[in-house]
Amino acid sequence: MVTERGLEVLRVIVQDYVASREPVGSKSIVDRYRFGVSAATIRNDMAALEEDGLIAAPHTSSGRVPTDKGYRMFVDHLADIRPMTPGQRQAIQTFLGAGDDLDDVLTRTVRLLSQLTNQVALVQVPVPLRSLVRHLELVRLSPTRLLVVLITDAGNVDQRTVELSHETGQRVDETALADLRARINTALAGRALTEAAPLLNELAASAPPERAAVVDRVAQVVAAQVDERRQDRLVMAGAANLARTEKDFPGSILPVLEAIEEQVVLLRLFSEMELDARGVSVSIGRENPAEGLTETSILTGGYRSPAGELARIGVLGPTRMDYSGNMAAVRAVARYLTKLLGE
């Protein structure tokens, strides 16, 4: 059973080690903090913490460093989520608010989060199964080529080119294309994204042959877009931050770099991490079963897309990280992202 003072000693060991990367000794604790007891008493507290597996000595006669178990107790019982400063909140609002569409906003999100935390930042792209079609634009690029621009209510903008046969392209001039565009949007606007391709196929069946060929090609493109967006994927930034903390990874950071390239593994970890009452979840060290991630910590929060899908946002870095500051950053960015996408 860890005493109240023992918990406070663990707190300062975590805080000092995270700040300095140097093992923390009893004399340093007595000199820096007002515990009101002798160094011998602090040594006894540290011995009890070591016996409980919360701290360890990396070298003989050295100070102590937190273990994975110690970080876990710190995160669960001792870490306070520090409020973001007004300047940080304004930076989040200004930087993310300048995004043009969902993809741009998510790219900005991971760039900002990696800068705020100095960690690898990750955001899960929401699977838009409930997204609605806002508009489908057709732009004539040449007699045999069209640009198809699909816009959803979630802010996704996806554009692809469609190749037409020479005969079909000549028959679909600007006037015919404008009429076809109007008919397509009448059929699709406000309908579920997953219904778009079947609705286009129905429209093609009742259209004149030259227009049916165009609608059929557009339907194929839209179906491909939907299939791609059904797949979970991550947007990532800040991998260079791992190099700045390379000393925190014994041996090499290469296994970590290889692991973060496996998006399926990270997405599975995201899905298994349940958010706590503070709106965050932390997986520390050997709690991460994936090869290459046992010396890292992953910290996530949740945000919602305009269509209501719940997706994850988080950071990944060494176990020696600023948990309090990182939890504050992830939670603040997640909350603003939900607010921004809901407007």
CA separation for the pair 25, 90 (Å, rounded): 39
Q: What is the pLDDT of residues 233-272, one digit of tens each?
A: 899 999 999 988 888 888 788 989 998 888 888 888 888 8
pLDDT band at 225 (very low <50, low <70, confident <90, very high): confident
Q: What is the pLDDT of residues 157-173, one digit of tens each?
A: 888 888 887 766 566 78
Alpha helices (H) along the chain: 4-20, 26-32, 39-51, 68-73, 86-97, 102-117, 166-171, 174-188, 196-205, 209-229, 240-244, 254-260, 263-272, 323-342
Same fold, 4-78 and 86-127+232-342: no
The CATH number that domain 133-229 falls under is 3.30.390.60
As a residue count, the chain comes to 343
Range 86-127+232-342 has CATH code 3.40.50.1240: no
- For residues 152 and 133, the answer to whether their CB atoms sit within 8 Å is yes
Structural domain boundaries in the chain: 4-78, 86-127+232-342, 133-229
The radius of gyration of the chain from alpha carbons, rounded to an integer in Å, stands at: 27
pLDDT, average across residues 304-310: 76
Q: What is the pLDDT of residues 272-302, one digit of tens each?
A: 888 888 889 999 999 998 888 999 999 999 9
Kindly report the pTM of this predicted structure.
0.73
CA separation for the pair 167, 143 (Å, rounded): 9
Q: What is the pLDDT of residue 246?
A: 85
- In the predicted structure, residue 316 carries a pLDDT above the cut 90: yes
Q: What is the pLDDT of residues 99-142, one digit of tens each?
A: 888 888 899 999 999 999 999 999 998 766 567 888 999 888 88
Q: What is the pLDDT of residue 130?
A: 64
CA separation for the pair 125, 222 (Å, rounded): 19
Q: What is the pLDDT of residue 342?
A: 80
Q: Which of 267, 269, 268 is nearest to 233 (CA)?
A: 267
4-78 folds as: Arc Repressor Mutant, subunit A (1.10.10)
